């Protein structure tokens, strides 16, 4: 009975957190789908060929408007690199597309507090700048050339098909005209469903892990691990240990936010939470993909630079927000089992679940269902020429076609 009670407690906590964040996730993915529907990917690679501040800012902005799925972001980063983007710009795009997206900011504010959202959107650009400086100082051109040769082999990682899909609106006209059109509705519904399909596993696993940790791991364990009895040591230790816990949790994207809330309640520092969330791009499964994409040396280089810049960004956020008095005084992240109550959360969940249902129905009726089978993307057996392995050309609703990569059919550089 004790085992069943423990399992029930963990599931109840996971269910409570799920109910708390449902509406915010739907809202975030809807807004993200709207943005992606009007931004065409096919020209992005050519726009990111440099390494200067302008290119870095453009890569950051385009990444923030892109997918929040870490696996898809990594796959799309390689695709952009092969299309002509610089390696630094591709990495900046990756960081922004997983750490500066709308839905992440909303769920951080909801489970933790608005201060964490602000810290994420301040720390993200800081990490990108530090990453760019580190690559320019310590990474030689021959290593990047070797990474490009490896990338051009087109070895499959994960979510290749999703990364290759471009369902943006192809018709002309102004923003609102395009968005309100039939094609606009189809594009938004397609992107919305595909984004959910890409991250639902990580969100579910993250919520279950967070529920289990909150139910089964006593706060005393976390207090010892995070050195809560020594305030200065805790501030210095948090950003160092945060990414390590993230790497070992195997959870990425938005799915690690519920666990971040548990860690915050357990005593990790403010900067430690931020560095923990940043580390979704260096979890072990993604490191394996980096090795396939760019080779072992570049994978180790990415790991070292990303880890160092995550820690540094965590420190900067910790001490800057502390000096401004913006670090929450109480550790009251919403991980308790509150159950379903008739309040604003329930009303918003009903409204946004209806919106999600409408988009799902449109996706199915417009012939989008077969596209879900393409998300993982398996390379064509005959592809030996370094092409993007998953050019998708099937029409979506007869109007919105997932457009193939511009370099499909071309020889690698």
- Exposure string for 42-57, b = 16+ CB within 10 A, e = fewer: eebbebbeebeeebbe
Of 309, 306, 260, 272, residue with least CA distance to 287: 306
Q: pTM for this structure?
A: 0.78
> Whole-angstrom Cα distance, residue 111 to residue 268?
16
pLDDT of residue 212: 84
Q: Which of 304, 287, 291, 217 is nearest to 250 (CA)?
A: 287
Instruction: Note the pLDDT of residue 159.
Output: 62
Report the pLDDT value the prediction gives residue 44, as an integer from 0 to 100.
66
Instruction: Tell me the two tokens of residue 296.
Output: 């072992």
All residue ranges of the chain with pLDDT < 50 are: 378-413
CB-count exposure of residue 296 (10 Å: 0-12, 13-18, 19+): exposed
Other Cβ atoms closer than 10 A to 179:
17
What's the pLDDT at 133? 96
What is the per-residue pLDDT across 167-215, written as a single tens digit (0 to 9) for each? 667 666 666 666 777 888 888 888 888 878 877 877 888 778 888 887 8
**What pLDDT is stored for residue 412 in this prediction?**
37
Cα–Cα distance for residue pair 381/356, rounded to 1 Å:
37
Instruction: Give the pLDDT confidence score for residue 160 in this predicted structure.
Output: 63
């Amino acid at each position: 009975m004790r085992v069943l009670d423990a399992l029930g407690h963990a599931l109840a906590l996971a269910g409570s957190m799920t109910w708390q964040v449902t509406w915010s996730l739907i809202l975030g993915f809807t807004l993200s789908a709207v943005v992606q529907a009007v931004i065409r990917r096919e020209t992005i690679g050519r726009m990111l060929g440099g390494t200067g501040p302008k290119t870095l800012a453009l890569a950051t902005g385009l990444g923030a408007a892109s997918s929040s799925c870490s696996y898809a972001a990594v796959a799309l980063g390689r695709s952009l690199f092969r299309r002509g983007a610089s390696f630094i710009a591709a990495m900046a795009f990756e960081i922004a597309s997983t750490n500066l997206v709308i839905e992440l900011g909303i769920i951080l504010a909801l489970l933790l507090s608005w201060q964490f959202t602000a810290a994420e959107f301040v720390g993200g650009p800081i990490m990108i700048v530090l990453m760019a400086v580190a690559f320019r100082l310590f990474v030689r051109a021959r290593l990047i050339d070797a990474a490009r040769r490896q990338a051009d082999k087109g070895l499959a990682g994960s979510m290749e098909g999703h990364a290759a899909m471009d369902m943006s609106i192809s018709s002309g006209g102004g923003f609102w005209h395009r968005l309100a059109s039939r094609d606009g509705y189809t594009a938004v519904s397609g992107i919305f469903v595909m984004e959910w399909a890409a991250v639902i596993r990580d969100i579910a696993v993250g919520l279950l892990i967070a529920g289990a940790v909150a139910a089964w791991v006593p706060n005393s364990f976390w207090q010892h691990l995070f050195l809560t009895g020594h305030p200065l040591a805790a501030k210095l230790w948090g950003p160092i240990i945060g990414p390590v816990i993230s790497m070992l949790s195997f959870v990425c994207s938005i799915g690690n936010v519920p666990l971040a809330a548990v860690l915050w309640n357990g005593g990790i520092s403010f900067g430690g939470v931020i560095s923990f969330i940043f580390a979704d791009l260096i979890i072990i499964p993604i490191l394996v993909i980096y090795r396939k994409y760019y080779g072992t040396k570049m994978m180790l280089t990415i790991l070292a630079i990303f880890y160092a810049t995550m820690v540094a960004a965590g420190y900067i956020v910790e001490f800057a927000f502390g000096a401004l008095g913006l670090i929450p005084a109480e550790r009251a992240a919403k991980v308790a089992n509150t159950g379903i109550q008739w309040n604003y959360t329930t009303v918003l969940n009903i409204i946004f679940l209806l919106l999600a249902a409408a988009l799902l129905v449109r996706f199915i009726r417009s012939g989008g269902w077969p596209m879900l089978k393409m998300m993982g993307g398996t390379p064509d057996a005959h592809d030996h020429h370094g092409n993007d392995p998953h050019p998708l050309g099937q029409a979506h609703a007869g109007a919105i076609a997932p457009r193939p990569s511009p370099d499909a059919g071309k020889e690698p550089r």
